[in-house]
């Protein structure tokens, strides 16, 4: 019996944890795909580094510099016929938006920006291709 099997047996549950960086890996795949698919627009898609753990001093500095809670993870600065830009929140299959993300979404869509939550690379590809096809 392995150590993992023994712990599972005596703890009464499966101890294997899901990777904590699943959302990170999804977003990395999105950015890599976009840069390969649309090399001439690689400068149009960028991440907003709002997340992550920071000490209080760094958090205060970032807030003074204009960091806003709830801002989407990725921004595609490219307008189409209907919208000024595409704003993408990356989530896992089971991930949910925070209250600040929901609030930011409700405000930003009123200003003619498209906001979507993408939970996979496949979903991101469909959203981006559809968005860019609307000229």
Query: How deeply is 62 buried, as exposed, middle or buried, from its count of CB atoms within 10 A (0-12, 13-18, 19+)?
Result: middle
Fold for the domain defined by 3-133: Trna Endonuclease; Chain: A, domain 1 (3.40.1350)
Distances (CA, A) of 44 to 3, 41, 49, 79, 86: 49, 5, 16, 10, 10
Model's pTM, two decimal places?
0.81
pLDDT per position as a tens digit, 62-78? 889 898 989 999 999 99
Listed by start position, the domains of the chain span 3-133
What average pLDDT is seen over the chain? 89
- pLDDT per residue of the chain (135 residues) written in tens, 0 to 9: 665 665 566 665 554 555 579 999 999 999 999 999 999 999 999 999 887 777 889 888 888 989 898 999 999 999 999 999 999 999 999 999 999 999 999 999 999 999 999 999 999 999 999 999 997
d(CA 104, CA 72): 8
The gap from C-alpha 35 to its chain's centroid, in whole angstroms, comes to 16
């Amino acid at each position: 019996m392995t150590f993992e099997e023994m712990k599972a047996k005596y703890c009464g549950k499966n101890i294997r944890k899901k990777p904590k960086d699943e959302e990170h890996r999804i977003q990395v795949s999105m950015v890599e795909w976009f840069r390969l698919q649309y090399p001439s627009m690689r400068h149009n898609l960028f991440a907003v580094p709002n997340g992550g753990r920071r000490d209080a001093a760094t958090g205060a500095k970032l807030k003074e510099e204009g960091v806003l809670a709830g801002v989407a993870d990725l921004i595609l600065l490219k307008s189409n016929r209907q919208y000024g830009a595409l704003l993408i929140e990356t989530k896992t299959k089971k991930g949910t938006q925070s209250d600040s993300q929901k609030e930011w979404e409700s405000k930003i869509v009123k200003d003619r920006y498209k906001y979507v939550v993408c939970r996979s690379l496949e979903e991101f590809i469909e959203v981006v291709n559809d968005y860019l096809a609307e000229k």
